[in-house]
Amino acid sequence: MREQGVEFFFGETVAALEPDQAGRVARVVTDRRTLDADLVILAAGVAPNADLARDTGLDIGESGGILVNECLQTSDPNIFAGGDCAEVANLVTGGPGYFPLGSMANRQGRVIGTNLSRKAALDRGAGMARFRGAVGTWCVKLFQRAAAGAGLSAQAALDRGMDVLNVHMVQLDRAHFYPEKDLMSLDLVVERGSGRVLGIQGLSGNGDALLARINPVAALLQHGAPTVEDVSTLEVAYSPPFAAAMDVVNALGNAAENLLAGRMRNVEAGDFERLWQADEVTVLDCRAAVQGGAMAEKHPGRWLSIPQDELRERLPEVPRDKPLVLVCNTGVRSFESQIVLDAAGLGRSLNLAGGMAALGRAGVDVGQE
Ligand SMILES: Cc1cc2nc3c(=O)[nH]c(=O)nc-3n(C[C@H](O)[C@H](O)[C@H](O)COP(=O)(O)OP(=O)(O)OC[C@H]3O[C@@H](n4cnc5c(N)ncnc54)[C@H](O)[C@@H]3O)c2cc1C
């Protein structure tokens, strides 16, 4: 967003919207500054408009939305509700869910329409259409990037008191030799004890490619309690113009399995930045010497370059005084290096999840090109 010239001002309170002489909005006044404006968009969240239902005496759920059953009947079975005013089941948590999305409203509208037309048949014992609930599958486009997700984010899971692992992966979205390849970031939210997948989120320059990874996991989340194994073995289509033979979504499941089993020890970009700034770690760059060497020259003694395929022969050069953070382009070769170091009894290393690509996307500047 910043690359596109968008400025962010956090922690400020809007005090006034000032009009021009024609009465159109011209300025936004905050407690710290005044900004000229042609258009003001207030995105202050969405709350269900359920006053009419409340006043009528219909039951209202925890979210403030109208309570409905799977047939989308309210507490008065002759009144149906759906869309932004209704609360449905959250199929991941099993609790109440509120998903104010046009996709939900349309699906629920069909169920309601079907059930209204079947009401007479229902009264004779025929089946009704059902809407079981939702996992909250969403997507947005931000300039040339797309973001999408389904289920719980790590923060939403933590807010519910769950013990979760956020597995971050950056990998090519199609075969490495295919010209239109692009790096895709995915996060898998996993319950630590059970290995149950609770959600997935992603960021990509290609929205269609991203949805091809989010949607199948959304389907898994809707129809069971998927585990990381279900994601690592998830069947998705492969051909070089569309995917890699080991698809990025399967690689995400593999990384989750490795983390849960303790085979992989990761550090996220934000935590790495703190460790780096506090000079608490030495970086071992596992990329080709031309990339790693350039960073080693910039940070003598703090950033070392040993390409992954030379590491076994160059183990004596690996420093032992501080914990190591292993980096490569996307976190794959650095993980392979971690296995080599573990086998050599040098088990204090952390793998930078998503590698240098993740640092760039998180806005962490360590002097990289
Ligand atoms: C800017 C914007 C972008 C969005 N983009 C997306 C998107 O990309 N994907 C997505 O899934 N969702 C998106 N949404 C959300 C989506 O539009 C809503 O979830 C969806 O429209 C909800 O449908 P609904 O029928 O429940 O409510 P609405 O579409 O709000 O329809 C409710 C209707 O009821 C009328 N009404 C209200 N009170 C009364 C009353 N007392 N008497 C009679 N009529 C009344 C209203 O005037 C309105 O016409 C977006 C929303 C906004 C605002």
Please identify, by atom number, the ligand 1 atom nearest to the C-alpha of residue 101.
Answer: 19
Output the CA 223–ligand 1 centroid distance in Å: 27
Best mutation site among 80, 84, 142 for ligand 1 pocket (most ligand atoms within 8 Å of CB): 84
- The full 3-state SS of 276-340, as one line of letters, equals HHCCCCEEEECCCHHHHHHHHHHCCCCEEECCHHHCCCCHHHCCCCCCEEEECCCCHHHHHHHHH
**Contacting residues for 207 by C-beta, under 8 A, at least 6 apart:** 139, 141, 146, 148
Residues with CB under 6 A from ligand 1: 52, 83-84, 100-103, 105
- Greatest extent of the chain over all pairs of C-alpha atoms, in Å: 81
- Output the residue whose Cα is nearest ligand 1's atom 36: 49
Q: Are 168 and 361 in contact (CB under 8 A)?
A: no
Best mutation site among 101, 103, 137 for ligand 1 pocket (most ligand atoms within 8 Å of CB): 101
Please identify, by atom number, the ligand 1 atom nearest to the C-alpha of residue 100.
Answer: 19
Please identify, by atom number, the ligand 1 atom nearest to the C-alpha of residue 85.
Answer: 26
Measured between alpha carbons, how far is 80 from 71 in angstroms, rounded to an integer? 8
Q: Average pLDDT in the 308-325 region?
A: 94
pLDDT in tens, 306-315: 999 999 999 9
Token pair for 182: 């692009």
| Banded model confidence at residue 119, pLDDT cuts 50, 70, 90 | low
pLDDT in tens, 59-105: 999 999 999 999 999 999 999 999 999 999 999 999 999 999 999 99
Q: Does 43 or 361 have the greater pLDDT score? A: 43
> For position 348, what pLDDT does the model report?
82
| Banded model confidence at residue 122, pLDDT cuts 50, 70, 90 | low
Measured between alpha carbons, how far is 259 from 277 in angstroms, rounded to an integer? 25
Output the CA 148–ligand 1 centroid distance in Å: 21
Output the CA 90–ligand 1 centroid distance in Å: 20
Is residue 93 left, alpha or beta, with left meaning phi > 0 and alpha meaning psi from -120 to 50?
alpha
pLDDT at 211 over 90: yes
Q: Average pLDDT in the 176-204 region?
A: 96
Q: Tokens 């399995």 correspond to what residue?
A: 257
Q: Between the CA atoms of 73, 118, 127 and 106, what dihedral angle is there, to the nearest 10 degrees?
A: -60
pLDDT at 361 over 90: no
Measured between alpha carbons, how far is 173 from 274 in angstroms, rounded to an integer? 30
Going by the DSSP 8-state scheme, the letter that residue 84 receives in this structure is: G
Measured between alpha carbons, how far is 133 from 87 in angstroms, rounded to an integer? 9
pLDDT at 333 over 80: yes
Instruction: Kindly report the number of other CB atoms within 10 A of residue 59's CB atom.
Output: 13
Measured between alpha carbons, how far is 138 from 157 in angstroms, rounded to an integer? 17
Burial profile 174-205: b = 16 or more Cβ within 10 angstroms, e = fewer: bbeebeebebbbbbbbbbeeebbbbbbbbbbe
Output the CA 84–ligand 1 centroid distance in Å: 7
| Banded model confidence at residue 369, pLDDT cuts 50, 70, 90 | confident
pLDDT at 292 over 90: yes
- Exposed/middle/buried for 253, CB within 10 Å: 0-12, 13-18, 19+? buried
pLDDT at 236 over 70: yes
pLDDT at 156 over 70: yes
> For position 126, what pLDDT does the model report?
64
Going by the DSSP 8-state scheme, the letter that residue 79 receives in this structure is: -
Output the CA 294–ligand 1 centroid distance in Å: 53
| Banded model confidence at residue 125, pLDDT cuts 50, 70, 90 | low
Measured between alpha carbons, how far is 97 from 283 in angstroms, rounded to an integer? 44
Please identify, by atom number, the ligand 1 atom nearest to the C-alpha of residue 84.
Answer: 26
Which pTM was predicted?
A: 0.90
